[in-house]
Amino acid sequence: MELNFCSLSSGSSGNCYYLGNGLHGILIDAGISATSISKFLKEMDILIHSIEGILVTHNHIDHVRGLEVLSRKFNLPVFTTNKIWESILTPKKKISPDSIREIHLKQEFHLAGFDIEAFPVCHDAPETIGFHICGGEKKITITTDLGHICNTSAHYIKAANLLVIESNYDEQMLIQGKYPEFLKARINSDNGHLGNHQTSSFLADVISENLINICLAHLSQNNNTPELALNTVYKTFLDRGIILNGNQHIYVLNRNVPTGMIRF
Ligand SMILES: [Zn+2]
Ligand SMILES: [Zn+2]
């Protein structure tokens, strides 16, 4: 089975990812407006009616901005844990009870022909999860907001053929940048975000020939550039003597526009 993955938007202004298997598809997060999601799907020739549900990683606005409208407009079920539901549902943000699906950490569920497991990650929300998704023999792991990589996330990351992992900030840009000290400390903490060097050195530790596509995600607008994120990985691999084979690719996901479809 060939899988199709694309990012519609990735970064602190909004996250939304698509995974399909030719017949059906799912979205992971809906952090941009429902209008933008519909427009981008159309541009990518993805039929909205082929989408069978939305998986949600946590309650931050850059992951749920379009959730309410999108799920209502297209009658889409939304899947996340009870604790994340409690943090999402407010008098201002209502999801139709018919669309609410509660999932449990590390308990496989099935949607759109995929077998899916949620796993916990460390981030400063009431609860944050990553997803490990299997379609036939192919495995993808998505983890976009995490302050450090614990053993559990490492386990799911190592199992992936396609990995979406945060590379949020360049450490020097963050230190020298204009953010207030408390915000720098928050971003840099174990419950904040992953920096380029953290992500790169972890990737160098776990890279194998099973890991075919690496997507660097959730880049900061103010504290990173796509070139810095990518070059940090290449330099780390070079320093460690790691050579990618011809099938392996590293992508940087665009912040505000879709990144072309990856078929694998
Ligand atoms: Zn985020
Ligand atoms: Zn977040």
The CA 12 to ligand 2 mean position distance, Å, reads 8
Residue 115 has pLDDT above 90, yes or no: yes
The CA 190 to ligand 1 mean position distance, Å, reads 15
The CA 145 to ligand 2 mean position distance, Å, reads 5
Residue 244 has pLDDT above 80, yes or no: yes
The CA 164 to ligand 2 mean position distance, Å, reads 15
Residue 216 has pLDDT above 80, yes or no: yes
Query: Rounded to a whole number, what is the largest CA-CA distance in the chain?
Result: 54
pLDDT band, very low/low/confident/very high, at 37 (cuts 50, 70, 90): very high
Residue 46 has pLDDT above 90, yes or no: yes
Helix intervals (H) in the chain = 34-43, 61-64, 67-73, 82-88, 151-158, 171-176, 181-188, 196-206, 226-239
Amino acid 93: pLDDT? 78
- Tell me which residue has tokens 């928050």: 186
Closest CA to 28 of 116, 138, 88, 96: 116
The CA 124 to ligand 2 mean position distance, Å, reads 7
Residues with Cβ–ion distance below 5 A, ligand 1: 62, 145
The CA 167 to ligand 1 mean position distance, Å, reads 11
The CA 130 to ligand 1 mean position distance, Å, reads 12
Amino acid 45: pLDDT? 94
Amino acid 247: pLDDT? 93
Residues with Cβ–ion distance below 5 A, ligand 2: 60, 145
Residue 170 has pLDDT above 80, yes or no: yes
Neighbours of 181 (CB within 10 A): 7
**Mean pLDDT along residues 85-102:** 90
Neighbours of 207 (CB within 10 A): 18
Q: Strands of 162-166's sheet, edge to edge?
A: 109-111, 114-120, 129-135, 138-143, 162-166, 213-217, 249-252
pLDDT band, very low/low/confident/very high, at 207 (cuts 50, 70, 90): very high
With contact defined as beta carbons under 8 Å apart, do 167 and 193 qualify? Answer: no
- Tell me which residue has tokens 């999932």: 103
pLDDT band, very low/low/confident/very high, at 137 (cuts 50, 70, 90): very high
**Mean pLDDT along residues 165-185:** 95
Amino acid 129: pLDDT? 98
Give the whole-angstrom CA distance, residue 133 versus residue 153: 13
pLDDT digits (tens, 9 = 90+) for 6-36: 999 999 999 999 999 999 999 999 999 999 9
Residue 92 has pLDDT above 80, yes or no: no
Residue 1 has pLDDT above 90, yes or no: no
pLDDT digits (tens, 9 = 90+) for 222-233: 999 999 999 999
Which ligand minimizes its atom distance to the CA of 123? 2
**Mean pLDDT along residues 64-86:** 97
Percent of the chain with pLDDT over 70: 100
The CA 241 to ligand 1 mean position distance, Å, reads 32
**Considering the entire predicted model, what is its pTM?**
0.96
Q: What is the mean pLDDT of the chain?
A: 96
Give the whole-angstrom CA distance, residue 88 versus residue 17: 19
The CA 245 to ligand 1 mean position distance, Å, reads 31
With contact defined as beta carbons under 8 Å apart, do 179 and 169 qualify? Answer: no
